[in-house]
């Protein structure tokens, strides 16, 4: 990660400590977290508490890829909970991402239900948990395809998600190599009272990514009013469709960015903008439509052509995380760590003459549209 990206991360997050860990303590109003499902989460005395009614989870505000997570927890006797890693907004979080299990019972020998296990994936070397309603200390590290967990000073595993024997032993849909590489951190509500404290995360560098938007001005972009930069984001209050575009050409690349919309706003991301206005536009639609049925103009759609599998957008006023890969004619879109659309552009319409390279365009259609942390990683040409 460039020094610029590190500065951007610090600008939008609490100040890291001497080791680079960012607090996710949640106080005094669960800041940095969003309750999904039952509203049974609270903060008091430096702790996050799940009262255990209903079901759901407490979702981190940001998406994380490679990171080290430290936390302490306490759970009631026979209570069940867990911490989701790289979890998607939609789908079964423990199966698309991963879950480090928390259980208020000691397992001897350990199972995939034991505290510290990767739920439904990996048995820990021992059950190193303490008794019910005692504080436990955990450290989980996800770097690339490796995940490791230390519980109460005992290393439980250091596993390779691509391990051939491990993957061969599990059916499709449960294999470790299929799990998300980026996603939310989640505290789960499985119907038991559980307490968390001293939660902190250390994001690791994103290898190979280059920042295209530095959060201070629009250098490197062709832009005009009403586009401007405020609080580290490029924003526009649009009354008609308007776009900023990179001054340089891009061909095949991975894209990551965050965006936020005001109520009723619409925007898009144009993947290879061409100076020829008649050239087909390959763009990802963005809309204030959380909870609506997917459509060709909805969030994550191939605008006016391809309907996403899910609507994985967050409500107006919240930052969304968008990932896109465009290589040759093939593309993939992940919205809030949820795979929503992929395939050849020709599966969705007549894109004859679509350029093989072009400028990246950020589009405001209506309302306030904001973009931040825009970065790309070049890919080798498709063979």
SS (H, E, C) the chain: CCHHHHHHHHHHCCCCCCCCCEECCCCCCCCCEEEEECCCEEEECCEEEECCCCCEEEEEEEEECCEEEEEEEEECCCCEEEEEEEECCCCCHHHHCEEEEEECCCCCCCCCCCCCCECCCECCCCCCCCCCCCCEEEEEEEECCEEEEEECCEEEEEEECCCHHHHHCCCCCCCHHHCCCCEEEEEEECCCCEEEEEEEEEECCCCCCEECCCCCCCCCEECCCCCEEECCEEEEEECCCEEEEECCCECCEEEEEEEEECCCCEEEEEEEECCCCCCCCCEEEEECCCCCCCCCCCCCCECCCECCCCCCCCCCCCCEEEEEEEECCEEEEEECCEEEEEEEHHHCCCCCCCCCCEEEEEEEEEEEEEEEEEEEEECCCCC
Whether 186 and 331 map to the same domain: the answer is no
- Tokens of residue 375, six digits: 């970065």
Question: Would 70 be classed as within a structural domain?
Answer: yes
**Torsion, Cα of 57, 59, 63, 65 (10° steps):** -40
Domain final residue, candidates 145, 173, 203: 203
79 Cβ contact list (under 8 Å, min separation 6): 52, 102, 103, 104, 132, 190, 192, 193, 194
- Structurally, the chain folds into a number of domains equal to 2
Average pLDDT, the chain: 92
Whether 153 and 98 map to the same domain: the answer is yes
Give the tens place of pLDDT for each residue, 361-380: 999 999 999 999 999 999 98
Whole-model pTM: value is: 0.90
Whether 195 and 299 map to the same domain: the answer is no
Whether 182 and 107 map to the same domain: the answer is yes
Question: Would 339 be classed as within a structural domain?
Answer: yes
Whether 188 and 227 map to the same domain: the answer is no
Residue 136 sits in a domain whose CATH number is 2.60.120.560
Question: Would 50 be classed as within a structural domain?
Answer: yes
Whether 247 and 182 map to the same domain: the answer is no
Whether 222 and 354 map to the same domain: the answer is yes
On whether the CB atoms of residues 258 and 264 are closer than 8 A, the answer is no
Give the tens place of pLDDT for each residue, 333-365: 999 999 999 999 999 988 888 888 999 999 999
Residue 65's alpha-carbon distances to 201, 260, 325, in angstroms, are 11, 20, 16
Q: What pLDDT, on the 0 to 100 scale, is given for residue 13?
A: 53
Domain final residue, candidates 175, 203, 231: 203
| Residue 250: domain span | 210-378
Domain final residue, candidates 203, 230, 248: 203
Question: Would 341 be classed as within a structural domain?
Answer: yes
Question: Would 338 be classed as within a structural domain?
Answer: yes
Q: What pLDDT, on the 0 to 100 scale, is given for residue 248?
A: 94
Question: Would 364 be classed as within a structural domain?
Answer: yes
Whether 122 and 248 map to the same domain: the answer is no
Whether 309 and 216 map to the same domain: the answer is yes
Q: What pLDDT, on the 0 to 100 scale, is given for residue 12?
A: 47
Taking the CB of residue 16, how many other CB atoms lie within 10 A of it? 17
Q: Which residues pair with 260 in a beta bridge?
A: 370
Q: What pLDDT, on the 0 to 100 scale, is given for residue 382?
A: 63
In whole angstroms, give the CA distance from residue 91 to residue 336: 11
- Tokens of residue 231, six digits: 């609080």
Identify the segments of the chain with pLDDT beneath 70: 1-13, 382-383
pLDDT > 90 fraction of the chain, expressed in percent and rounded: 84
Question: Would 383 be classed as within a structural domain?
Answer: no
Whether 197 and 252 map to the same domain: the answer is no
- Tokens of residue 13, six digits: 């997050």
Whether 228 and 157 map to the same domain: the answer is no
Whether 183 and 220 map to the same domain: the answer is no
């Amino acid at each position: 990660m460039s020094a610029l990206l590190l500065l951007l991360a610090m600008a939008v997050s609490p100040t890291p400590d001497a080791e680079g860990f960012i607090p996710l303590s949640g106080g005094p109003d669960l800041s940095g977290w969003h309750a999904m499902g039952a509203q049974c989460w609270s903060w008091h005395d430096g702790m996050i508490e799940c009262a255990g009614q209903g079901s759901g989870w407490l979702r981190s505000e940001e998406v994380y890829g490679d990171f080290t997570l430290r936390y302490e927890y306490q759970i009631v006797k026979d209570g069940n909970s867990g911490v989701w890693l790289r979890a998607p907004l939609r789908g079964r979080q423990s199966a698309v991402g991963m879950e480090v299990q928390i259980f208020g019972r000691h397992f001897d020998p350990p199972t995939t239900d034991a505290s510290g296990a990767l739920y439904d994936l990996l048995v820990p070397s021992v059950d190193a948990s303490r008794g019910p309603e005692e504080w436990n200390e955990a450290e989980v590290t996800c770097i690339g395809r490796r995940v490791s967990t230390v519980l109460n000073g005992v290393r439980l595993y250091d596993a390779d998600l691509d391990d051939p024997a491990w993957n061969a032993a599990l059916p499709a849909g449960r294999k470790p190599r299929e799990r998300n590489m980026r996603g939310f951190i989640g505290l789960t509500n499985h119907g038991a009272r559980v307490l968390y404290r001293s939660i902190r995360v250390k994001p690791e560098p994103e290898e190979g990514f280059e920042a295209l938007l530095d959060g201070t001005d629009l250098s490197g972009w062709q832009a005009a009013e009403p586009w401007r930069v405020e609080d580290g984001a490029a924003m526009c209050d649009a009354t008609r469709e308007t776009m900023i575009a990179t001054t340089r050409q891009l061909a095949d690349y991975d894209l990551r960015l965050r965006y936020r919309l005001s109520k009723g706003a619409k925007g898009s991301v144009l993947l290879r903008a061409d100076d020829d206005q008649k050239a087909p536009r390959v763009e990802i639609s963005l809309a204030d439509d959380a909870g609506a049925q997917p459509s060709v103009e909805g969030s994550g759609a191939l605008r006016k052509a391809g309907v996403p599998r899910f609507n994985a957008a967050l409500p107006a006023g919240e930052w969304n995380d968008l990932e896109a890969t465009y290589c040759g004619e093939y593309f993939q879109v992940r919205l809030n760590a949820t795979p929503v659309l992929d395939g050849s552009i020709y599966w969705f319409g007549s894109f004859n003459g679509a350029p093989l390279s072009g400028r990246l365009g950020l589009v405001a259609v209506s309302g306030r549209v904001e973009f931040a942390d825009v970065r790309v990683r070049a890919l080798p040409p498709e063979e």
